[in-house]
Every structure is written in C-alpha cells, then in structure tokens.
Amino acid sequence: MVSPELSPALAAVLRRAVARLTDAGVPDPDVDAELLAAFALNTSRGGVQAAAVRGDVLEPDVRGRVEDLVARRVTREPLQHIIGTAPFRHLELRVGPGVFVPRPETEMVAQLAIDALEAAASASPVAVDLGTGSGAIALAMATEVPHARVFAAENSVDAFVWTKENFERVGAANAQLAFIDLEHAFPELDGTVSVVASNPPYVPDAAIPRDPEVRLFDPPVALYGGADGLDVVRILSGVGLRLAHPGGLIVIEHGEWQGESIREILAADGWRSASTHPDLTTRDRATTAIRP
C-alpha cells in the first residue's frame, strides 16, 4: 500500500502542495496549488477540482511536474511567471521576467479610462496608454471600446518583448504600439486625445515592497519613481496636457497615500476637477483630472 504521504492521487498531491506553499508564506496556497496543477495537466482549475473529487491518480511524470512547479512557487517566484500568463479583465496576457505583472486593482483604473472613452463625443475617440508594460490597460481599452483608436507607448526593452507579443496575440486592429519614451510619445496626436492613462512606477526609492514577488521579481524600472515616488507622475502631467484636447481626461494609478499629492501636482499644472478614486478594497487607487 502506498503511504498517504507518497500517494499519487491528485488530492494527496494537492494537499502536499498546499502545505509547502503555506509554510513558504504564499498567499492563497489552495488557489496556487490548483492553478499549478491545472497548468501541469493542461486543464482548468475547475478541471483539477473535479479530478481531485473523482480520485484521479497522476502518472509519475505529471506528479513530478506539479512538484517542480510548486518548488518554484515556494521560492516566491510569481505564479504568473511560472504559468506564463496573467488575467486582466477579459484578457489573458503573456508575462514573465522583465515586465510588470498586471494586478487586479489596475482593472478599476482601466474601467475609469474605458468609461471616459465610451462617453467621448467623437465617433472615433483617441486614447493613449503611457508606459503600457504588458499592454493591459491599452488592450482593455481597445477591445472594450472597439470604435476607439488606442495608442500605447513603452520604453523598456525587456518589457517591450512581452508588450509586442500581447498586441500580436490579442490582434486588436484599433491598437497601435510604439517603442518610445513617454516624454516624446505621439507628437502627431497633440491636442486630439480623449483619454490619457498610465500605471506609472510610483514606489518611493527608499521603500521596500513587502511581498517577495514584487521585491525580487518585478522590474525596478516599473516600481520606483524617485524620492517621493512621483517623478514620473510629474512628467505624465505635462505630457497629458500636450496630448489631451480640452475636456480630455487623464487617469493615473498610484499608491493609496499619494492621492492628495497627485491632485496637487495636476492642479498646479492647470488640470481641473482632480479627483481620487478607491479600488474595490476601498484603498485610493487612481486620480483623474480634466484638461481645461
């Protein structure tokens, strides 16, 4: 008889995985164990749950693959790096080393941009995503507002590899990607843009992210934004004024304590009606303002 500790049954493999992930301090170890098993089995999380209830047994090579994946996650390598994708709204985006992994809280930032784009008076409104990273916000706007024209800028070589792949995979004909720094992005669009969106680096240089997944694996260029974390926000404000038409909206993601400072930056530059918006956890997550 096979001992419970060495049982090849999927349910037992999952229990061992959950225990290892829990000991490593991984948040939501049950979810991660099931998703890693789903990746190894080329099925869905629901498929894994059903197979565990049925009492399915894993072949040795598959069991070894699950255990190898769990061992990587135990080091706190991001789950998204291991399985190669990250969900964002209705999209599945390719991610890995060199690109910031899109977070669920950024989905509400995209929603603010999408709502403004849908409300734009133009039959073909223009949106720009500055520092697009994986392309999450830009591709969400392009696919959810198909009558819009969406332009995305990225200037990190490492990130651009992933951005380009995601644009090709999604295949949104109304989305255009450029490798260019945000200060000089899209001069041909000056004064025509209805929505300027960005999830810039906003962590203060001296701050140390708590989560190892962020601290050890997210690219520093996508995290750190100067002494107060707002260096890039200051640039965004000026670029947004150049790009946006009167009545156009800027949407900037930020940390929960930065809303007031960002409203002050935008107001000082001439933006109007600066307002900070909470995410679903009630933490301040994004600030918007209107171009006069």
| Residues with active-site annotation | 100, 199-200
Q: What is the 3-state secondary structure (H, E, C) of the chain?
A: CCCHHHCCEHHHHHHHHHHHHHHCCCCCHHHHHHHHHHHHHCCCHHHHHHHHHHCCECCHHHHHHHHHHHHHHHCCCCHHHHHCEEEECCEEEECCCCCCCCCCCHHHHHHHHHHHHHHCCCCCCEEEEECCCCCHHHHHHHHHCCCCEEEEEECCHHHHHHHHHHHHHHCCCCEEEEECCHHHCCHHHCCCEEEEEECCCCECCCCCCCCHHHHHHCCHHHCECCCCCCHHHHHHHHHHHHHEEEEEEEEEECCCCCHHHHHHHHHHHCCEEEEEEECCCCCEEEEEEECC
**Sheet strand arrangement including 149-154:** 175-179, 149-154, 126-130, 193-198, 244-253, 284-290, 272-278
